[in-house]
Amino acid sequence: MSRGLFGMAVFLGLTFTLAAGTSFAFAADKPVEVKLSKLKAPAPAEWAVEKTANRLRSFQFKLKGDDGDAELIVMPETNPEPSKSFPRWKASFVVPEGKTADDIGKQSKLEVAGATLHILDASGTWKFKERPFDPKSKEEQRDNYRVVWVIVVEGDDATHIRISGPQETMVKHMPGVEKWLKSLK
């Protein structure tokens, strides 16, 4: 009797494993729809979906590159004020001698489907911290990096998007990222 139950459990386990594998394969074939507050757009096929590193992230993608991969993360329910976030983000870069934080970070704005996108694009040596507000989080200096922060303001709601990676990888992927941002509806 216990052998029969064991056999049935193995059979059911394999069945569920195969079903889950099949289901996953189909899910990978369909584009992932990235939903912000009210806006949404399908992620480009070349963005590899990853498990989010923490609960603050609603989406996380890997963007492949020859000199290292880039990462795109989406963080909902965030501060809508660029005047509060941009100075802190600029300070996360090493400012070369003779330059200012404003020299290494370019700000721009884009209007899409009833939302305003505030963009900060910075390059150089990034003082990366896995948990930026945690004083125990170790700082890691990443040379020749580019980080693009986007604050998507939809009325009273705001979502932060961060795209970060080695300069060459970012050059490769930013046209697709910009096209995706403009496709938000």
Each residue's pLDDT tens digit, 11-24: 444 333 333 333 23
Each residue's pLDDT tens digit, 92-128: 999 999 999 999 999 999 999 989 999 999 999 999 9
pTM for the predicted model, two decimal places: 0.83
What integer pLDDT is reported at residue 97 of this predicted model? 95
Tokens standing for residue 54: 């923490």
Q: For the chain, what is the total number of helices (H) and then of strands (E)?
A: 4, 10
Length of the chain: 185
| pLDDT reading at 41 higher than 60 | yes
